[in-house]
Every structure is written in structure tokens, then in C-alpha cells.
Amino acid sequence: MQESLCNICNRGKVVYFRAYSGERLCSRCFTKTFEKRVAKTIAKYNMLRYNDRIAVAVSGGKDSLTLLKVLAKIETKFPESSMVAITVDEGINVYRDEAIKNAEDFISKMGGIEHVKISFKELYGVTLEDIVKDGVVDKAGIKPCTVCGILRRRALDIAARRVGASVIATAHTLDDVVQTYLMNVFRGDIDKQPFGTRTEVEGFIPRVAPFKLTPEHEVVMYAYLHNIPFQSHVCPYARTSMRDMIRNFLIDYEENYPGTLYTALTSFERLIRPSDVLLQKCEVCGVLTSRRVCRTCEVLKQLGLKEVPVQ
């Protein structure tokens, strides 16, 4: 039987079947179309400027290392921009230790990229493990992932300010964004702004998600083809999250109905009506927020920890 060939170049051996478009691609064409889509996403949403100092959130997982690699390629075309990798260490034994080691090895092999680390221990005086072990998370009725996400966001903001970043890039994929939209709908909290697009508000470092139109399994494939390390450990708290339930549901759905994730994203974004949410200074830490007390300060209080202002 004749071996099937890549639909684009008609020469290469097929390594990837893109179910939603029906394309069969060789490694080279897969890589080219993957990188082109990221560049197009950045342009479509005006995510980056020619002279940005980009703080890339690098957890050490394959998604963030892939983002770093792809952005570094794109960034070479913009000599006035610069990039710095930021890793937040929440203090999750084994899991995060492995990720940090992967990030350090990968970044030092890439060469020429500054790598900055910041930890929960340094900022909040405790690790995520300490917080969960104390039982205070249970008592406060919040999930470890909620605490982790909120405190990590503040840590990332602080580190990005320290390095003078003008924008923060995160590795959220199409799957992550649709999960977030759905979770917000279930919580009765429809977004005011599309996820991961550049919104300039004085006092905030904007966040962008260059993978927001890229399905997770394509990031997996890119990482695999380019020898980007995968973690062998999973976070011990991952299974406790609402996100995990939604993720599994969406994976099943996309498998049966390819293209659903993209359609869902565009439908959600049509529903978003950007409004002028009145921002005020958090009464405790002073960051701009739509609430009287920002969510970070609220959670820190629930956990009995002292506030940490964005410096």
C-alpha cells in the first residue's frame, strides 16, 4: 500500500491528522502552520507591540516551554523587543520541583533568555503545600486550585513589575480559554473582556494568550516533535478542580465533533459586551479592582495570611 503524503507539500510523511480541517501533515508543514497560526493570533488581537518587554509565564510544563520557544522565534523579527521568562514556585513538592528543573534546563539550552523565579514562600511566607496541609483551605471552603491560581496571578504581576515588563504572555490554549468561559457561565459570571487579549488599563500589566486559538493537542504534538520535555508528575490537586471536570467533557466533545472548541470560543466572544467596569483601588492592597477588596486580599484574609501589595 502506498504511504500517504502530506496534503500541503505532497512530499513529507504524514505525522499529524488535523481532524477539524481534514488535513494530513508532515512534521515540517505541521510546524510551519502551527507557528503561523500563533503569529496570526498575535496580529489578530494586537497582542504584542514592536518594542514590548515580554514576560513569559513559564511554569516548566510543555505548554509554557512551547510558548517560550515559539515566541523567541517570532521575537527575533522585532529587535527592539525583549523577553524574560518568569517561573512562579507555588511550593508543590515533586510536581513543581520537576517543572522548575525542566524550565531551567530548557532555558539554559535556548541561551540568551533571562530567567526570573519567584515563590509563594518568599511572598506569602508559606507554600501551597503548607496552606493545604493546615486544613485552612478546607475550612475556608475553597479549592487548592482556586488559592493557587489567585496567589500565582499576584506573584506573576509582582515579578513582571520587578523586571519592567510591558506585557505578560501566558500559555493558555484554546482548550483552557473555552474551559474558563464555561466555568464563568456556570458561576453566573460572564466575562467583560475576551480572555488573553490586550487590554490597556493604567496600573495593570496586560496579559495576552498567543495560544488562545491553538488546540491543546497541537501544542502536545509540537512539543513532541521539537523535543520539549514533558512532565512525568501531575499536580496532586488537579483532580479536585471544577476545571478538570469541564476539561474532560470538552475533550470528549471535541473528539466526537471536531472544531467545537473553536466554534464555542467565537460564540462566547460574540456574547461578551465589553463594558466600562468602574475600577477602584482595593481598600487593602491598593491594586485596581472592580470590587471593594480585591480577590487576592479576600483569599489571603480567609487563609489568615497578610496582604502582599503589588510593588
The contact set with ligand SF4 (CB under 6 A) reads 90, 144-145, 148-149, 235, 237-238, 241
76's CB contacts (< 8 A; 6+ apart) are none
Q: Which of 82, 77, 67 is nearest to 113 (CA)?
A: 82
Residue 294 binds Zn ion (CB under 5 A): yes
Residues in the chain: 311
**Helix H or strand E segment including 25:** strand 23-25
Residue 38 interface partner, choices Zn ion, ligand SF4, none, CB cut-off 5-8 Å depending on type = none
Q: 9 vs 277, which CB is nearer to Zn ion?
A: 9
User: Cα–Cα–Cα angle for 103, 96, 176, nearest 5°?
Assistant: 80
Nearer to Zn ion, 30 or 237 (CB): 30
Q: How far is the CB of 30 from ligand SF4 (least distance, A)?
A: 28
Q: Which is nearer to Zn ion, 110 or 285 (CB)?
A: 285
Tell me how far, at minimum, the Cβ of 243 lies from ligand SF4, in Å.
Answer: 8
Least Å distance between CB 179 and ligand SF4? 12
Coil, strand, or helix at residue 135? coil
Residue 31's DSSP bridge partners are none
Which helix H or strand E contains 133, and what residues bound it?
A: helix 128-133
| Torsion sign (Cα): 60, 36, 173, 287 | positive
Query: Least distance from C-beta 95 to ligand SF4, angstroms?
Result: 7
8 binds Zn ion per the rule CB under 5 A? yes
Of 4, 9, 161, 255, the one binding Zn ion (CB under 5 A) is 9
Q: Please report whether residue 174 would count as binding Zn ion according to CB under 5 A.
A: no
Pick from 29, 55, 158, 168 the residue near Zn ion by CB under 5 A.
Answer: 29
Compute the least distance from the CB of residue 9 to Zn ion, in Å. 3
Contacts of 129-137 with CB under 8 Å at 24 or more apart are: 129/91, 129/92, 129/93, 130/91, 131/303, 132/237, 136/302, 136/303, 136/304, 137/303
Please report whether residue 310 would count as binding Zn ion according to CB under 5 A. no
Which one of Zn ion, ligand SF4, none is in contact with 235 (Cβ closer than 5 to 8 A by kind)? ligand SF4
**Residue 144 contact partner, candidates Zn ion, ligand SF4, none, CB within 5 to 8 A by sort of partner:** ligand SF4
